[in-house]
Structure 1
Amino acid sequence: MSTLAYDAGRLALMLNELRLPTMARLWPEFAQRSDKEGWQATRLLGALLEHELAERAKRRIERHRAESHLDPTKTLATFDFGMVPMVSKAHVMALATGDSWLEKGATVLLFGPPGVGKSHLGCALGHALIDAGYRVLFTRTSEIVQKLQAARQSLQLPSALAKLDRFDLIILDDLSYARKDQAETSVLFELIAERYERRSLLITANQPFSGWNDVFPDPGMTVAAIDRLVHHSTIFEMNVESYRRRTASDKQTGRRRQSSSDNHQEGATTMTG
């Protein structure tokens, strides 16, 4: 019995059966070190379990990042806080831990014109929260609205909303592009109402609340949606010049300077000749 218990093949089978792939991969090396260095059994077992748990956490984060649909390039490390001085980096970093506001189903609202980094900041917070162990979904508002309306038409809306509960945070990007002339936008209100004080939302919008009558089918629904969103919320107003417009302007200015420099050098060459 003792021989069987320590047979390498049998150990590998048992570890695979228990779904401990990291321990199955590492135990021969660790056992050899243990025999050589005289480890106690508890140290050997503890080391193997620590590696198993670390690898399991890493795989879980990788799965959650894949399902989130977040842009992998839009992280806190690549976000330029200098471009939006009204956004407190310290406040954002506090939100990135997720602990207090996600527990009470609070909301983060990012307002500002196109191109100021709202989607980037939303994605960056999403990545940080995944690293902290939470589940996040990033979606354009129009896309999730269409999916929920399709679920409603097939009498599956409650089930579809329930499935979204697995996400601690849903990032609704570009809410302002949803329009009330699309009959399905009323399901957006149902999503907001369903998650109110239970699960968190992060919303980016080009228009302030005063322009949201263009989003929901009637003024009463607009008021009710805003009331739920602002009850437990953090609001960032990113009212700066578009980053994309600024970049394009800088490039154009650079080309003009280069052209002026080239003309000046050409003129100098002609005079010399």
Structure 2
Amino acid sequence: MTSTTSSIDAARVELLLTELRLPSVKAIWPKLAAQSDKEGWPAARFLAALAELEVADRGRRRIERHMVEARLPAGKTLASFDFDSVPMLSKAQVMALASGDVWLETGANLLLFGPPGGGKSHLSAAIGLALVENGWRVLFTRTTDLVQRLQTARRELALEAAIAKLDRYDLLILDDITYVSKDQAETSVLFELIATRYERRSLLITANQPFGEWGRIFPDQAMTLAAVDRLVHHATIIEMNVESYRRKAALGRKRGAGRPPVHATPEEVESSAD
């Protein structure tokens, strides 16, 4: 084969790979072809190497897209989560949840309870990040923001379509659900979301208040009971009743290098913020 013929064939390959939208193969095939010619690879080995590279690159780009759409807060990883500060939390259990294989496949839920500043949002975001890296689709949102979006959809007679669009996500992370108030118009959209995803798609919910305080979220007691029933039916519940990270940090700044007390008083917190 003459060099002219080889150049023509190479140009045809470039055009065809562009037409087929195979950018990874297009970028790597000349190098692999040279290696294949030099080492005398069988054609099947050469094609398999190209295919493996394309599959790997597509997987990487897919995860990058899913990472953007997940809207996870930056810097919240399992590696940076302080498990020692939450002694009642099983790290092994969290790592198992981060794989997502069992509970997401069955549409089960994960509920995190604890006072403000205890690490619930960090842990939920970190689990979400690990799940995206494992190939799952996740959306992190403040519950109040999502409720407002669904309220708008209801006013536009598009609530069903808006909830159906959320089905693309294997997991919805609803942060701070107890900040939603039934004084807001049409908060029943939150119940409709919970009911629609029941046993089909998973929810991860963080809450500052126990279920007994959820009567202020939904319009009536019957809806509250129905929502809680659907959430807990297939759920892992984790209680993180620990001192606030932010409270500890504030006391630490005030005391300098000294070790902060295990339990801070409201007076200490107030004075540390000055």
- Give the TM-score normalised by the residue count of structure 2: 0.90
Structure-2 change in CA distance of 1:233 and 1:256 (3 Å): closer
Q: How does 1:165-176 map to 2 (within 5 A)?
A: 165-176=167-178
Q: 1:107 aligns with which of 84, 106, 109?
A: 109
Name the CA distance, whole Å, in 1 between partners of 2:8 and 2:29.
12
Q: Structure 2 matches for 1:122-133, cutoff 5 A?
A: 122-133=124-135
1:72 CA drift (Å): 2.8
Q: Which runs of 4+ in 1 moved over 3 A?
A: 3-6
Cα deviations by residue, 1:78-121 (Å, 9 ceiling, x for unpaired):
11111101110100111111111111111100000110110011
RMSD: 1.6
Which of 249, 252, 262 is the matching residue for 1:250?
Answer: 252
Q: Counterparts of 2:202 and 2:213 in 1: how far apart (Å)? A: 23
Give TM-score scaled by structure 1 length: 0.91
Cα distance in 1 for residues equivalent to 2:65 and 2:45: 30
Counterpart of 1:39? 41
Greater alpha carbon shift after TM alignment, 143-152 vs 14-23: 14-23
Distance 2:91 2:226 in 1: 31
Please tell me the residue identity of whatever aligns with 1:11. Answer: V
The CA distance in 2 between the partners of 1:248 and 1:202, in whole Å, is 29
Q: Which of these two proteins has the greater Rg computed from alpha carbons?
A: 1
Deviation, 1:184, is 2.5
Deviations 1:224-250 (A, max 9, x none): 000000000001100000011011111
Q: Which moved more, 1:225-234 or 1:16-25?
A: 16-25
Work out the CA distance in 1 between the residues paired with 2:205 and 2:77.
17
Residue deviations 1:167-190, cap 9 Å, x none? Answer: 000000000100010023110000
Please give the per-residue CA displacement for 1:197-225, whole angstroms capped at 9, x wherever unaligned: 00000000100101101111111110000
Distance 1:223 1:5 in 2: 72
Is residue 138–residue 172 contact of structure 1 (8 Å, CA) maintained in 2?
Answer: yes
Task: State whether structure 2 residue 71 is matched by structure 1 residue 69.
Answer: yes
AA partner of residue 102 (structure 1): L
2:179 matches 1:177 = yes
CA–CA distance in structure 2, aligned partners of residues 37 and 75 of structure 1: 44
Structure with greater proportional helix content? 1
> C-alpha distance in 1, partners of 2:85/2:147?
31
Report whether the alignment pairs 1:149 with 2:156. no
Amino acid at match of 1:147: R
- Consecutive unaligned residues in structure 2, runs of 5 or more: 260-274
Correspondences of 1:217-232 after superposition (within 5 Å): 217-232=219-234
TM superposition shift of 1:48: 1.0
Deviation at 1:256, TM superposition (A): 7.7
- Assess if the C-alpha contact under 8 Å between 1:4 and 1:10 holds in 2: no
Distance in 1, Cα, partners of 2:52 & 2:106? 32
Matched positions, count: 256
What is the CA deviation profile of residues 127-154 of structure 1, one whole-angstrom value per residue up to 9, with x for unaligned ones? 1111111100000000000000100000
Conserved? CA contact 1:146–1:184, under 8 Å: no
Q: Percent identity?
A: 64
- The answer for unaligned runs of 5 or more in structure 1 is 258-273
- For 1:270, the equivalent position in structure 2 comes to none
Aligned to 2:271: none
